[in-house]
Amino acid sequence: MYWSKSFIPTSKENPSGAKIPSHQLLIRAGMIKQESAGIYSWLPLGFKVLKNIESIVREEQEAAGAVEILMPTLQSSDLWIESGRYEGYGEEMLRISDRHDADLIYGPTNEEQITEIFRSYIKSYKNLPLNLFHIQWKFRDEIRPRFGLLRGREFLMKDAYSFDLDKESAKISYFKMFTSYMRTFKRLGLNAIPVIADSGPIGGELSHEFSIITNTGETEIYYDSRILEIEDYDFDYSKKDSLENSYNKFTNFYSSTDDKHSEDLFQKIPEEFQNKGKAIEIGHIFSFGYKYSEPMNAFVNNDKGENIPVYMGSYGIGVSRLVSAIIEAYHDDRGILWPISVAPFQVGIINLGKNDEKCKKVSEDIYQQLRSNNIDVIYDDRDESAGRKYADMDLIGIPYQIILGPRDLESNKCELKNRLNDQRVSIDLDNIIKELLKLI
Amino acid sequence: MYWSKSFIPTSKENPSGAKIPSHQLLIRAGMIKQESAGIYSWLPLGFKVLKNIESIVREEQEAAGAVEILMPTLQSSDLWIESGRYEGYGEEMLRISDRHDADLIYGPTNEEQITEIFRSYIKSYKNLPLNLFHIQWKFRDEIRPRFGLLRGREFLMKDAYSFDLDKESAKISYFKMFTSYMRTFKRLGLNAIPVIADSGPIGGELSHEFSIITNTGETEIYYDSRILEIEDYDFDYSKKDSLENSYNKFTNFYSSTDDKHSEDLFQKIPEEFQNKGKAIEIGHIFSFGYKYSEPMNAFVNNDKGENIPVYMGSYGIGVSRLVSAIIEAYHDDRGILWPISVAPFQVGIINLGKNDEKCKKVSEDIYQQLRSNNIDVIYDDRDESAGRKYADMDLIGIPYQIILGPRDLESNKCELKNRLNDQRVSIDLDNIIKELLKLI
């Protein structure tokens, strides 16, 4: 992408009202724009990051055997009356009347709708287990939307729903999602900490939250820091033992939210690993059994011909929230430090010789070569000062930056800058593509 | 994808209430499920088709220089009051009050919102021309939703918005979108007919609808059938002449909706090319100049330092509607005939020897080889009768079908069936991958 042909409205000013780094930086980097309280437009750079995260989440869901569908944003209130959640859900549920005075809601989650889909088609244990997921916009009418995407109202979520014949089989479905979440977050550059959680309005008996530690977290968690050192994310979805071992590995270390914290257990951790920190929740999974299948009549026949309710679970990842969470984990005083897996562009080209024909030619040439090697690259071809170009490229957080100036070009060289550690090295022009292909 | 591990609830029964082939087939093929009037869930196969169409639309928008963003589904009513459309839009607009009694609407289109984004950032002619598009769910509260996806309420639309300094430059933006639409539809297997259109509630002075002829169209159009024979879709977005020539080529032939039809002009077409037919609209483009920029104060400085309103256009493609439109154009009495560019899978494998170890082994082997060649393949590994497998594979419209039976395997052969022309040929197992790679 040529910077001049995109739409990247960066700004030096910190926006008023934005209190945490991710909110400030998303606006300053021209990635999002607030439209109403807690409702945002995604400008080109922000949209690319959102899509990159979405792709990783999708790939890992599919790898775990989940099948993608798409449910609509608006749901009939009838489903929620059937499950018993319509009255109780409170004011966070956006309730809507259509022109015929039918009651709709903007879905805050989809347990009811997926149960209704399941019961419409699936009648036999032979079609189990099944896990269906979708990635769709949802709405929660927060009383005080704040912190940008972290507590917005219209937000993008991946939610998966598992259906099993019994609790034993449901455990495997739960392990699959649990371990796939750890892999997903790892690919996003995040070391997530799983914490046993209350199941809240979703319900059920087994539940984990996945959180990352940042300065701006909303809740406090206590944890054994060895959980962050686990390096072995290897397991086999088709083998129960492998899944269970992996699950146990990730859940063996102590972790707890402060309301459930046990100082006794905490003190048993060797002191150097005792840790607490502020946490941002990025995922939440639930095994809730018959909570929806019983009242909503989602029954299947087992192999004895008995008609029994299906055993369910649900598994959420906050896709739009992750954009903010990643920034909270990765930024400095100059801007964002995107992990390369989600960066809007992997490489940025800064042309310092805006009136220098050779600079232009070499920049264009490198740009085309990177593109033909399937590297996602932005070329800052604007008529702006060097200072502005450096600052903007750092602000939007491009991991690798090629700096092309007339003086370097005289000796057939350019600079390659690593945004993360701020190192700059001088490289022969003939080697720059090879060097980048090695790094990416 | 293994059929047994996906979720493809096919049915032999025609659903009651579904009156046109696309609606019937989408439900029978297990691609969509109605949730409320005019609101659908997308089951795995339907979702794949939707995504395939979306990808082609996106690629062609990007090729034409449009930049992708994403605006939210819910908008503040304030914007519509500013533009003057809030009162006039009528009951098709879904109006919503949030918990603080703020008035929101579920966006039926985004002219207001994009104008507001533009005016927030862009102040100078130096940033023009600009074309921003998004692909987002929209809502129109139709009084009588019907025909499945063709007249639904929650629907997916691609809408692009162009911004130019003046009418002359805006013409080029219009040509770009016009020609990119013809290419987009061609890639979807559709010969679209552009027709000069009324601009309706969007407003403006130049507007085209793009339609295809099917038995179940909603309006009647008269046209010179030579427009369907144009084979040269070649043009260069960077050259004004090339764009204009291409635009002229597509608009030179007579076409008209019946309300604007001129029998005089029609009679000037050689008789063998005079045609009329029922049409389904699949795209609509508008050049409306200052209709939103003036009341909403979206002004830029020109190179003389004068502050003038920006000249705008908007360009819509009905992405979810296209799923139905393509089926209306491509089906037979056995099911859907997907063009390969949008088919949920390019190849289907039908294993007829469900208890035959060699059949299973060869099926699995071909399945893995196709996947490693990046061919999207579904393997019907179910414990079902041959008749059911044949019928289902035809119903869901898989273009190329490999049929593996124990008898053929004895002579190291299989059958390759072309869904479109129903031809079956016997092929050596050793050649089947090569043969398919040639075809796809």
- Overall average pLDDT of the B415-426 stretch: 96
Chain B residues near residue A112 by CB distance under 8 angstroms: none
* B76–A36 CB contact, under 8 Å: yes
Which CATH number covers residue A180?
Answer: 3.30.930.10
pLDDT of residue B251: 94
pTM equals: 0.97
Smallest Cα distance from B227 to chain A, Å: 34
One domain, residues A91 and A189 = yes
One domain, residues B270 and B413 = no
Instruction: Round the average pLDDT of chain B to a whole number and report it.
Output: 96
Domain assignment of residue A1, yes or no: no
Torsional sign, CA B421, B422, B425, B429: positive
* B98–A141 CB contact, under 8 Å: yes
Integer Rg of chain A from CA: 24
> Measured between alpha carbons, how far is A60 from A123 in angstroms, rounded to an integer?
28
Quote the Cα angle for B399-B404-B410, to 5°.
145
Listed residues A296, A316, A336: the one ending a domain:
A336
One domain, residues B301 and B373 = no
Q: How many CB atoms lie within 10 A of CB B16?
A: 6
Chain B residues near residue A122 by CB distance under 8 angstroms: 9
One domain, residues A226 and A157 = yes
Of the pLDDT bands very low, low, confident and very high (cuts 50, 70, 90), residue B118 is very high
pLDDT digits (tens, 9 = 90+) for B260-308: 899 999 999 999 999 999 999 999 999 999 999 999 999 999 999 999 9
pLDDT of residue B313: 97
Smallest Cα distance from B35 to chain A, Å: 7
Q: Before B129, cis peptide (omega within 30)?
A: yes
One domain, residues A69 and A15 = yes
Chain A residues near residue B30 by CB distance under 8 angstroms: 121
Domain assignment of residue B341, yes or no: no
SS3 A393: helix
- Cα B314 to chain centroid distance, Å, stands at 17
Looking at this predicted complex, what is its ipTM?
Answer: 0.96
Chain B residues near residue A139 by CB distance under 8 angstroms: 74
One domain, residues A332 and A385 = no
Q: Which residues of chain A have pLDDT under 50?
A: none
pLDDT of residue A198: 76
pLDDT of residue B354: 80
Q: Which residues contact A235 (CB under 8 A, 6 or more apart)?
A: A179, A242, A243, A245, A246
Chain A residues near residue B120 by CB distance under 8 angstroms: 9, 33
One domain, residues B241 and B383 = no
SS3 A213: strand
Contact of A29 with A395, CB cutoff 8 Å: yes
Top residue of B2, B77, B98, B134 to mutate, by most chain A CBs within 10 Å, is: B98
> Measured between alpha carbons, how far is A324 from A330 in angstroms, rounded to an integer?
10
pLDDT digits (tens, 9 = 90+) for B174-232: 999 999 999 999 999 999 999 998 767 766 778 999 999 999 888 999 999 999 999 98
**In terms of CA atoms, which chain B residue is nearest residue A118?**
B7
**Structurally, how many domains does chain A consist of?**
2
pLDDT of residue A17: 87
Contact of B324 with B149, CB cutoff 8 Å: yes
Of the pLDDT bands very low, low, confident and very high (cuts 50, 70, 90), residue B17 is confident
Domain assignment of residue B267, yes or no: yes
Residue B118 tokens read as 């533009």
One domain, residues A194 and A150 = yes
Domain assignment of residue A3, yes or no: no
> Measured between alpha carbons, how far is A142 from A321 in angstroms, rounded to an integer?
14
pLDDT of residue A343: 98
By residue range, what is the domain housing residue A255?
Answer: 9-336
**In terms of CA atoms, which chain A residue is nearest residue B77?**
A36
* B139–A74 CB contact, under 8 Å: yes
Residue B303, classified by CB atoms within 10 Å of its CB into exposed (0-12), middle (13-18) or buried (19+), is: exposed
> Measured between alpha carbons, how far is B209 from B192 in angstroms, rounded to an integer?
9
pLDDT of residue B317: 98
One domain, residues A352 and A325 = no
Top residue of A53, A67, A157 to mutate, by most chain B CBs within 10 Å, is: A67
Q: Is the pLDDT assigned to residue B24 strictly greater than 90?
A: yes
Q: HSE-up of A85 (CA within 13 Å, CB side)?
A: 24
pLDDT digits (tens, 9 = 90+) for B74-106: 999 999 999 999 998 999 999 999 999 999 999
Contact of B43 with A120, CB cutoff 8 Å: no
Domain assignment of residue B4, yes or no: no
Tokens 């059929």 — which residue? B3
Domain assignment of residue A292, yes or no: yes
Smallest Cα distance from A168 to chain B, Å: 19
* B67–A74 CB contact, under 8 Å: no
For A6, the closest of B41, B67, B76 (CB atoms) is: B67
B319-329 helix and B44-63 helix, angle to the nearest 10 degrees: 110
pLDDT of residue B396: 98
Q: What length is written for chain B?
A: 440
Torsional sign, CA A79, A85, A89, A91: positive
Q: Is the pLDDT assigned to residue B9 strictly greater than 80?
A: yes
- The residues that bridge with A275 in the sheet, in sequence order, are A223
Q: What percent of chain B has pLDDT over 90?
A: 93
Domain assignment of residue B1, yes or no: no
Residue A254 per-residue DSSP state: -
Which CATH number covers residue A388?
Answer: 3.40.50.800
Smallest Cα distance from A31 to chain B, Å: 10
* A7–B132 CB contact, under 8 Å: yes
Annotate chain B with three-state secondary structure: CEHHHCCCCCCCCCCCCCCCHHHHHHHHCCCEEEEECCEEEECHHHHHHHHHHHHHHHHHHHHCCCEECECCCEEEHHHHHHHCCCCCCHHHCEEEECCCCCEEEECCCCHHHHHHHHHHHCCEHHHCCEEEEEEEEEECCCCCCECHHHECCEEEEEEEEEEECCHHHHHHHHHHHHHHHHHHHHHCCCCCEEEECCCHHHCCCEEEEEEEECCCCCEEEEEEHHHHHCCCCCCCCCCHHHHHHHHHHHHCCCEEEHHHCCHHHHHCCCHHHEEEEEEEEEEEEEEEECCCCCCCCCEEECCCCCEEECEEEEEEEEHHHHHHHHHHHCEECCEECCCCCCCCCCEEEEECCCCCHHHHHHHHHHHHHHHHCCCCEEEECCCCCHHHHHHHHHHCCCCEEEEECHHHHHCCEEEEEECCCCCEEEEEHHHHHHHHHHHC
Domain assignment of residue B2, yes or no: no
Contact of B214 with B328, CB cutoff 8 Å: yes
Top residue of B104, B130, B141, B156 to mutate, by most chain A CBs within 10 Å, is: B104
**In terms of CA atoms, which chain B residue is nearest residue A116?**
B35
> Measured between alpha carbons, how far is B350 from B405 in angstroms, rounded to an integer?
9
**In terms of CA atoms, which chain A residue is nearest residue B47?**
A69
One domain, residues A408 and A269 = no
Listed residues A277, A307, A336: the one ending a domain:
A336
Smallest Cα distance from A96 to chain B, Å: 6
pLDDT of residue B205: 77
**In terms of CA atoms, which chain A residue is nearest residue B121?**
A9
Chain B residues near residue A59 by CB distance under 8 angstroms: none
One domain, residues A298 and A326 = yes
Task: Tell me the CA distances in angstroms from B94 to A114, B13, B275, B292, one per residue in order.
Answer: 24, 34, 39, 21
Chain A residues near residue B102 by CB distance under 8 angstroms: 36-37
SS3 A147: coil
pLDDT of residue A172: 97
Listed residues B336, B371, B402: the one ending a domain:
B336
One domain, residues A29 and A115 = yes
pLDDT digits (tens, 9 = 90+) for A10-42: 999 989 889 999 999 999 999 999 999 999 999
